[in-house]
Structure 1
Amino acid sequence: MDTAPPLPHDAWSAWHPRELADRLAGVPQPWCVVGGWALDLWHGVETRPHEDLEFTILRADFPAFRAVLPDLRLHAADDGKVWPLAENETPPAGVAQVWCADVAARCWRVDMMLEDGTPETWVYKRDPSIRRPRGEMVRLTEEGIAYLAPEAVLLFKAKHRRDKDEADFSRALPKLNEAERRWLRACIARAFPGHAWLDALPVTRP
């Protein structure tokens, strides 16, 4: 039985996305880096420090990813609470985050996000009517690291608008092409009517 005391919520020493990709090499199920690191993989440079690393998988594929991360202790995370999952336990319905603890190093290494799309279709969890073919929403770096498209990352960031989200949006905006801007504007207008970022994403002709 694991008798180690619980890890503090801020005990993060996250992997680099390259480490995650190495550990997931050979897994056939879809996954991709999300959050701020996904934007930096798109930029091709680390633009700011990252306190954590997030990646997303399909909820149904959780056992497959757990099997390739045997040295990590998995914890469900929801509403500010974090609790360990038993050896063969799956996260409860409605829980979309699994924090992965490196028991030996006494730190969190990665945040596994559970999504309800399909291998073919990416679905925005806050509004399932927003969906696109997964092949359009997941990209690869030259090293083969999968990451979520920048317009989708920014759609997630639009909800909270923390300082880092505002900085990420300002940094990404000049690099977005017209199609990416149009999609992001339409989705923000649907999910967050009146959002301040809409002024920076003017309507243009297709």
Structure 2
Amino acid sequence: MPQERSGQSWEPAHLAEVVDLFSQTSCPWWIAGGYAVELAVGRPFREHEDIDVLLLRRDQYAVHDLLAGWELWAADPPGTLRPWLRGELLPFGVHDVWCRPGPDAPWQIQVMLDEADGETWVSRRDARVRRPLDRLGTTAADGTPYLTPEVQLFYKAKAPRPKDEQDFTEVRPHLDREASAWLAEALSVAYGPHPWAETLQNGKGD
């Protein structure tokens, strides 16, 4: 994550508040990050430092419409926060936006922008890793859209932290054969040999 700015820290918005906000748009969106993993598992199992929402880059202007009046700051690599003004098109490589209601408020929502080619999702980590958009996410029993756990784990696998290892352990039994095979292949393509791929291929955790 970029460094905190102006002494403001994170106080993530509640999941229900985020869902209410983003449900007002007609463009596709998905709860991502650790909350997506918990939605797949069906129960909370750890605390969260932030809350992530994924949109496609081509729909990025919807964020300004949904969060009108909020401060939106883009994280420009290698991690510098700068204001994202209405009308500016964030280019490839800038995919992380921090959002807060005002200058003295804590950060509450993190928006992630991902790539698409027509009706195909294209990983920003490795363009060889792709998936039909209609299989990028799924829906919880209450109607909340969230990123499928295999796609979320693919992103977490680049440099897994203890919480990412916990997420993998918790959600692994909920991955069906197809999801496990997709994730193992995606990990191998993007990252080379990976311990999670070995676990998935060996059927550990079944």
What TM-score, normalized by structure 1, do the two folds share? 0.88
Asked if structure 1 preserves the Cα contact closer than 8 Å seen for 2:40 and 2:171, the reply is no
Per the alignment, in what secondary structure is the counterpart of residue 21 of structure 1?
helix
Match of 1:22 in 2: 20
Match of 1:73 in 2: 71
- Where do 1:1-206 residues align within 5 Å? 6-8=5-7, 11-78=9-76, 79-103=78-102, 106-118=105-117, 120-202=119-201
Asked if structure 2 preserves the Cα contact closer than 8 Å seen for 1:17 and 1:145, the reply is no
Match of 1:3 in 2: none
Q: Distance in 1 between matches of 2:185 and 2:202?
A: 9
Structure 1 runs (4+) deviating above 6 angstroms are none
Task: For residues 143-168 of structure 1, give each alpha carbon's deviation from its aligned partner in whole angstroms, at most 9, with x where no partner exists.
Answer: 21111100111111110111111111
Listed as ranges, the gaps of 5+ residues in structure 1 are: 1-5
Structure 1 residues 65 and 85: alpha-carbon distance in aligned structure 2, compared to 1, 3 A threshold = closer
Task: For residues 52-85 of structure 1, give each alpha carbon's deviation from its aligned partner in whole angstroms, at most 9, with x where no partner exists.
Answer: 0111111121112211111311001132211112
Asked if structure 2 preserves the Cα contact closer than 8 Å seen for 1:30 and 1:119, the reply is no
Identity of aligned residues (%): 34
Deviation at 1:30, TM superposition (A): 0.8
> How many pairs were matched up?
198
Listed as ranges, the gaps of 5+ residues in structure 2 are: none
Paired residue type of 2:85? A
Comparing 175-184 and 80-89, the one that deviates more: 80-89
Q: Distance in 1 between matches of 2:104 and 2:35?
A: 22
Task: For residues 68-122 of structure 1, give each alpha carbon's deviation from its aligned partner in whole angstroms, at most 9, with x where no partner exists.
Answer: 1113110011322111123433334421111101217611111111112156222
Structure 1 residues 13 and 200: alpha-carbon distance in aligned structure 2, compared to 1, 3 A threshold = same
Paired residue type of 1:34? A
Per the alignment, in what secondary structure is the counterpart of residue 201 of structure 1?
helix
Q: Distance in 1 between matches of 2:75 and 2:116?
A: 20
